[in-house]
A and B are shown apart, each in its own frame.
Chain A
């Protein structure tokens, strides 16, 4: 009995366990507030609305439909994981990558031109898109490294610049349009740059958007995990992020580390765009605001406890409720309600830090009380 007790108490003390607990708290808090919102708008349908948000594909009675939508949710999770990793890498190095949207948009230009215009193979399109985003992100990195410009400010400005560049270029080049005046750009499943399904579609009721991308992103997760766990580069990035004075003391090159961190996260944002657009399902439309995914990535990274593995689950959760949310329009809720509700949940997920800090303070208080008592006992 005591064995089990000590096992649990040591488990509870572990940093990882704490992160998981706080993340679950945040998700729950978001869900409760979302439910209150539904109650406020339409009390009658609220319970059913909530079920469909939480249930997503599970509300379908036909198993084939379930599988199909499950596959869709999974496929849409992959790009969000990439974006979350992009935020995570920068954050570990002490930088806040709010420019994910802009980096994503730059990749879109490459994908539409190489994928739709030139019909290049999918891997080539993907790699060039990642390089383009990487270079774009390194503008922020260079400004930070050489002139100490705050990366949040330059990131936000570059988001808008990238958006207008993308809109400007795509709206005037009709070769990449789906149809005249459609203002939408979709890679078809027959295109060379469509990421192959490699038979995975068969597992999900022939849902062709499920494919190699999902395996690819898992590989990337493992690479990032190893980067921070096992490599000297990861050690340097973490040290710079946690204590940049100690990094200088140890002779680490801050300029180099900032550039590398932004480069990696830019490439990951480009990968997000590539996984999203090259699955033959999602279209790019000219937009007047920077894409959501750049900001959802921030929530997802924090909700995932800034851990590469945790990010898989948090990204899935966010996509799951977003997909579920898009179904409640059938229940008489306006589409806006669905997006308010899901964004409420998503942004409350960002509260991880706040709750973690509360927990930490509580723990310090306890430890302090214990320590002082211990000392008095000795005396």
Chain B
């Protein structure tokens, strides 16, 4: 072997309960190279990197550093081996200055270096073991040296909470360099950045490589991957697929490896011609209140009776926010939302519910259920104010119990007791059935379902698919948000692909293949889309 590997992870297997997160995955990072780790959501990318950083222990497999086998029990071991990681969510102390954050955990202590006299020796000893006074001046010098060497301009005296996300990322990078890390892991580093910031970041990455660092770069945005990486390792659903040289492959090939070539099963849907329009979203834009980033940018689409329209895309590309905008959970910046030809843009959440929106939320524990409520109490969460369930400020217990029992019966909701059982102790599938039953039974024109099968097993998933298709038969308008291509293909009548807050393509599931969809989802086709858009304007 002529080339030495900075890190080799061989046959890594990791199980969480019954779920196989990593199944014999091999990762070989050459010295001074950039290795891109690609895969869809839940492919196991973060798990394998967490193993390398010592956050998890593998069930099987070995890790070698420069050919020597090592054990990484915790992040401290990883740091000792000069492995550093920038997590997707930064690990910084908001109220500390940049400099304090950089030296935190690896402080340079005050010391008298050259031939100290007895008192100074005593001071050195005491300071090392008891006082631990930090030599801020020396630390600052060291950090400044790094800043110059790698051209990473940051203001060391500003507090982290006062600087931009891009700057915070630079702080994370300097932190690794200050610890003399040689192997740098970046977990989806560009997810939080704007287009221009991404370009700057990629320049920094190349610069780091030139200085001899070895880098693992986790991403599913193929444009960036092809711009900077030397090799690409693809994993899919916990399985190792292949490692390719970037110069010898194409985006199309990588994309098809990521999504798989499986012949997909499109469930036998009755052919239907969609009827009148129920929901029309026009030029919807939403700004994230904390990052001030436009998370939804000029999105327009409609949903008609008797069709399932799917917002597809990789997690975090604005699908969730579009739904929040429609239901009123998030303030819209501009645009309009029409429900049954009435403008609901200015209505409150409650008024929108009454106007005819059923909403199966993404996070059942956060929005969908009150875990310390019983099945009965949860079954009326967004309809307790209706005449059937309350009158003159009093709840109608009899009707509520009756309705709850109906839901339990009709949707086969199983628990250890009757409808008085607390939802907290129930399985995820049964919890989800409460929400789905509740929302379907509200019998509104529009049904919004956000990742309705998240975290459920195959049996439960099929049941929920059937329920959604039945709603389609009943001429409801259904807006689905899904991250899973299998689901997108088997349910949708129309697929809208979202990338970075915009709809970048609309497809008929019968006329598009997974590879094309994958390319659009990872933004590889964005340039073309933009070109088409510009042509339209001309």
Contacts and interface: CB of A to CB of B under 8 A. Distances in A.
A243 B370 CA distance: 6
Contacts of B425: 367
Contacts of A367: 425
B373 A245 contact: no
B531 interface: no
Interface in A233-259: 233, 235, 238-239, 242-243, 245-246, 248-253
Given A245-B366, A251-B353, A231 B393 contact: yes
Interface residues of B, number: 31
Interface in A272-326: none
Contact of A246 (B352, B370, B385): B370
Contacts of B369: 243, 246
Contact of A251 (B352, B371, B394): B352
Given A232-B385, A251-B349, A246 B368 contact: yes
B7 to A, nearest CB: 35
A232 B366 contact: no
Interface residues of A, number: 19
B382 A242 contact: no
Contact of A235 (B327, B359, B384, B422): B384
A356 to B, nearest CB: 13
Contacts of B422: 15
B329 A246 contact: no
Contacts of B370: 238-239, 242-243, 246
Nearest to B389: A232
A129 to B, nearest CB: 26
A82 to B, nearest CB: 23
Nearest to B380: A235
Interface in B368-417: 368-373, 377, 381-382, 384-385, 390, 393-395, 397
A242 B423 CA distance: 13
B361 interface: yes
Contacts of B528: none
A235 B377 contact: yes
Contact of A249 (B382, B384, B390): B382
Contacts of B91: none
B373 A249 contact: no
Contacts of B390: 232
A161 to B, nearest CB: 29
Contacts of B350: 250-253
Given A230-B394, A239-B381, A251 B373 contact: no
B385 A249 contact: no
- Residue of B366, B377, B381, B384 with most partner-chain A CB within 10 A: B381
A123 B216 CA distance: 75
Given A232-B384, A232-B385, A367-B425, A249 B359 contact: yes
B348 A251 contact: yes
B344 to A, nearest CB: 13
Contacts of A245: 366-367
Interface string B119-139: 000000000000000000000
Nearest to A243: B370
Contacts of A230: 394-395, 397
B327 to A, nearest CB: 8
Interface string A151-189: 000000000000000000000000000000000000000
B382 A250 contact: yes
A239 B384 CA distance: 12
A250 B381 contact: yes
A249 to B, nearest CB: 4
A253 B353 CA distance: 13
A249 B394 contact: no
B367 A249 contact: yes
B194 to A, nearest CB: 28
A232 B393 contact: yes
B373 A242 contact: yes
Contacts of A250: 349-350, 353, 381-382, 384
Contacts of B361: 249
A281 B55 CA distance: 65
Given A251-B349, A251-B382, A252-B350, A246 B394 contact: no
A230 B353 CA distance: 23
- Residue of A231, A243, A246, A252 with most partner-chain B CB within 10 A: A246
B425 to A, nearest CB: 7
Contacts of A243: 366, 369-372
- Residue of A15, A243, A253 with most partner-chain B CB within 10 A: A243
A231 B390 CA distance: 8
Interface in B300-348: 327-329, 348
B352 to A, nearest CB: 7
10 contacts: A232-B384, A242-B371, A246-B366, A248-B367, A249-B329, A249-B367, A250-B382, A251-B328, A251-B352, A253-B350
Interface of B: 327-329, 348-353, 359, 361, 366-373, 377, 381-382, 384-385, 390, 393-395, 397, 422, 425
Interface of A: 15, 230-233, 235, 238-239, 242-243, 245-246, 248-253, 367
Given A246-B381, A249-B327, A249-B359, 17 more contacts: A231-B394, A232-B384, A232-B394, A238-B373, A239-B370, A239-B373, A239-B381, A242-B372, A246-B366, A246-B367, A249-B329, A249-B349, A249-B361, A249-B367, A249-B381, A249-B382, A250-B353
Across the A-B interface, give the 9 residue pairs with the lowest CB-CB distance, nearest first.
Answer: A251-B350, A251-B349, A249-B367, A250-B382, A243-B370, A245-B366, A232-B390, A242-B370, A250-B381
